Amino acid sequence: MHEIEPYYRWRDEYDSALDSCSPFFGREYDEFYFTQKIYNYYIHPQWDHFGSPTLYMKILFADYDRGFAIFEMMGEWNDCITNDIMFLKRDVADELMAHGINKFIIICENVLNFHSSDDCYYEEWYDDVKEYGGWVVLLNTLQHVEEEMYDARLDSYINFGGAFTELNWRALSPKGVFMKVEKMLQSAVKKLPG
- For residue 194, what pLDDT is reported? 42
Under 8 Å CB-to-CB from 100, ≥6 apart: which residues? Answer: 64, 67
- For residue 18, what pLDDT is reported? 97
**pLDDT(193) > 60:** no
Please give the single-letter amino acid code of residue 112. L
CATH code at 118?
3.30.750.24
Q: Does a structural domain hold residue 161? A: yes
- For residue 122, what pLDDT is reported? 97
Average pLDDT in the 63-87 region? 97
- Give the pLDDT confidence of 88-134 residue by residue, as tens digits: 999 999 999 999 999 999 999 999 999 999 999 999 999 999 999 99
- Give the pLDDT confidence of 24-34 residue by residue, as tens digits: 999 998 877 77
Q: Does a structural domain hold residue 9? A: no
Q: Does a structural domain hold residue 7? A: no
Residue with the larger pLDDT of the pair 84 and 42: 84
- Give the pLDDT confidence of 164-181 residue by residue, as tens digits: 999 999 999 999 999 999
Strands 55-63 and 48-49: antiparallel
Beta bridge partners of 111: 75
Q: Does a structural domain hold residue 4? A: no
Closest CA to 143 of 171, 116, 164: 164
User: Is the CB of residue 105 less than 8 Å from the CB of residue 137?
Assistant: yes
User: Is the CB of residue 23 less than 8 Å from the CB of residue 32?
Assistant: no
- For residue 2, what pLDDT is reported? 67
User: Is the CB of residue 170 less than 8 Å from the CB of residue 7?
Assistant: yes
- Give the pLDDT confidence of 126-185 residue by residue, as tens digits: 999 999 999 999 999 999 999 999 999 999 999 999 999 999 999 999 999 999 999 999
- Counting the structural domains of the chain, the total is 1
Full residue range of the structural domain in which residue 137 is found = 16-191
- For residue 170, what pLDDT is reported? 96
Q: Does a structural domain hold residue 125? A: yes
Closest CA to 115 of 166, 68, 149, 64: 149
- For residue 189, what pLDDT is reported? 64
Q: Does a structural domain hold residue 163? A: yes
- For residue 1, what pLDDT is reported? 61
Q: Does a structural domain hold residue 170? A: yes
26-30, 37-41, 48-52, 119-123: which range is least confident on average? 37-41
Beta bridge partners of 117: none
Residue 192's pLDDT band (cuts 50, 70, 90): very low
Residue with the larger pLDDT of the pair 36 and 61: 61
Q: Does a structural domain hold residue 11? A: no
Kind plus residue range of the DSSP H or E element containing 126:
helix 120-130
